[in-house]
Chains A and B, each alone.
Chain A
Amino acid sequence: MAAPLLEVRNLRVEFPTRRGILTALDDVSFSIEPGEILGVVGESGAGKSMTGAAIIGLLEPPGRIARGEILLNGRRIDALPYAELRRIRGREIGAIFQDPLTTLNPLYSVGQQLVETMTTHLPITPDEARRRAIGWLEQVGIPAAAQRIDAYPHEFSGGMRQRVVIALALCAEPKLIVADEPTTALDVSIQAQVIALLKTLARDKGTAMMLITHDMGVIAETADRVAVMYAGRIAEIGPVRQVVLHARHPYSQGLMGSIPPLDRRVERLAQIDGSMPRLTAIPPGCAYNPRCPKVFGRCLGDRPDLMDAGPTQAACWLYDNV
């Protein structure tokens, strides 16, 4: 087993508010190896995007890392000064966000943005950078890249714009890419193209990827391992096949069961009753206990940590001393 490229240990993110401190993420630990794609799934508000933001160093103030550490190649990056962090962002960690319009600067051509990124992070001349920029645009499947390079973001369609964002994230050849809902704003036919692209590029370059999405189909097709998050913690983590098809944690089971199947019609979909608790009202014990069909005494008082549950790890007392 290769040494992990990214290691997150006991990460805790807090938001101080007038009414006290809100804990948005608590005790989140995982690692990603080079060339590996880790999928992160969960309902909105579970902390998926927050985890990604903490890694890139883009937590919205007043959010702050209160405990734990983030290591990239064995080096701590969670407490770096701003200038250091800027060097890492882009060079070593690339980011792809959901909305390609807000990622791109509308006042610069896509060529200028690619060239700027490369000359900032790589020891190359602007001419060389421009040559490479055309190459990247070709690689992400933009037709007539040599002509399109001087076009502005608004001149591209949604799918093409997302490809530009991917090219931008890849062009400084980072070792890790944090992709937050990269395909959510796209239509299915375009989504399939983008996923295929991300997958081949990541594999060919050995880039590690953290893929945050609520679309389980995308995860099943792309990820090697999956982390399921609930109320700011990881509920289950394990190999993609195991988590998607044979989830151990009752929450992952509920989540997977509620996906409408494409290959048949069911009279009634499995549903999880209720909704995820707000950060201000996380119940004691296991945060899932009010909605859990398998709840028992211990769940109400003690909070479970991740424990071995066969091929996956689940934060659930059902798997204690198994």
Chain B
Amino acid sequence: MSDARFIEALDIARYFDVSRPLVQRLIAREGRRTLKAVDGVSFTIPKGTTLSLVGESGCGKSTIARMMVGLYRPTRGEVVFDGRDLAEARGQAAQRRRMQMIFQDPYASLNPRWRVRDIVAEPIRAFHIARGDEVMERVGEALTQVGLSPLDGQKFPHEFSGGQRQRISIARALSSSPEFLVCDEPTSALDVSVQAQILNLMKELQQRLGLTYLFISHNLAVVRQVSDRIGVMYLGRIVENAPSEVLFGAPRHPYTRALMEAIPDLEMTGRIRVPVGGEVPSPIDPPSGCPFHPRCPLANDRCRAVRPEMLAAGATLVACHAVEEGREAQR
């Protein structure tokens, strides 16, 4: 299969039923309610590269992360993993071991009653990759790869700091020699100095092992450091998808611009920030047309009525009527 389409999401969606219990629905005479956490998202990740998804809480980025490794089944659409349908690939251990996930909270994602060596060995044992002494050899290798010592395997998770625990999660993810890693906010629970350590480690591992990453974050500055391509999400959809440097050099979608505008300025250039007004609407009852229109300075009648499609504008894909009509420059 071609490496350019190593991972593909084809119009994936995931709905959750958030209806109240039947009796209460009957009393209140209301219907079922659906939360469209992800509603029609497509992207491809070429082998050895990083795609990042950014957006505010509730935009659906973690739901996508879970769909990409098969923890959720898409309500609609298809995830293609190296030429195979993911649902089919998940059924085969040989395929399943090729993908792993790193979670946000290194305190919650490691079993406190297990020694580190058993945590890291779990994928090796589950996939019957090695047996006997070879298991511990591989554990030692994985720990060394993430900058820990093989001797740390005897300890329990509580003996480590947050940054070291995140290293353990990475070692666990690497122990089955995967090719695709889904990282859901891997550094947002960490302090900045430790965050830098983990980001450096992840980049180094990517170069050495040729890993493909789907990186989920809400922090644009972090995303800029690690991504080849970035998808900006809003209310269950990607509104802009562009190569990293293009996105930061010339953001097109009004929401992308607003996000960049909202980040506090460390250089203290005296730039005046214009905060985006309003809040993210509820995905249970999203606005008509373009979901961003209630907060958008460029919204017009068309935006309120018609949902914009993803259109190519140079290397960027963007879903915005104002960009399509050339109204963005007026701002």
Contact = CB atoms under 8 A, between A and B. Distances in A.
Interface stretch (A6-14, A202-210, A253-261, A307-315): A253-261
A192 interface: yes
A320 interface: no
Interface in B165-223: 191-197, 199-200, 203, 218-222
Contact of A214 (B192, B267, B279): B192
Interface stretch (A102-110, A121-129, A271-279, A292-300): A271-279
B193 A258 contact: yes
A142 B49 CA distance: 44
A196 B199 contact: no
B137 interface: no
Contacts, number: 121
B57 interface: yes
Interface string A156-178: 01011000000000000000000
A44 B221 contact: no
A190 interface: yes
B191 A214 contact: yes
A267 B265 CA distance: 21
Contacts of B203: 267-268
Given A188-B56, A255-B193, A268 B279 contact: no
A137 interface: no
Interface in B214-239: 218-222, 224-225
Given A220-B264, A271-B200, A159 B279 contact: yes
Contacts of B225: 260, 265-266, 269
Interface residues of A, number: 45
B288 interface: no
A272 B192 CA distance: 9
A2 interface: no
A10 B267 CA distance: 33
30 contacts: A43-B192, A44-B162, A44-B191, A187-B280, A188-B218, A188-B262, A189-B279, A191-B264, A192-B273, A193-B275, A196-B273, A196-B275, A217-B265, A220-B265, A255-B192, A258-B196, A260-B219, A261-B266, A262-B220, A262-B221, A263-B267, A267-B203, A268-B200, A271-B193, A271-B196, A271-B197, A271-B200, A273-B197, A275-B164, A276-B161
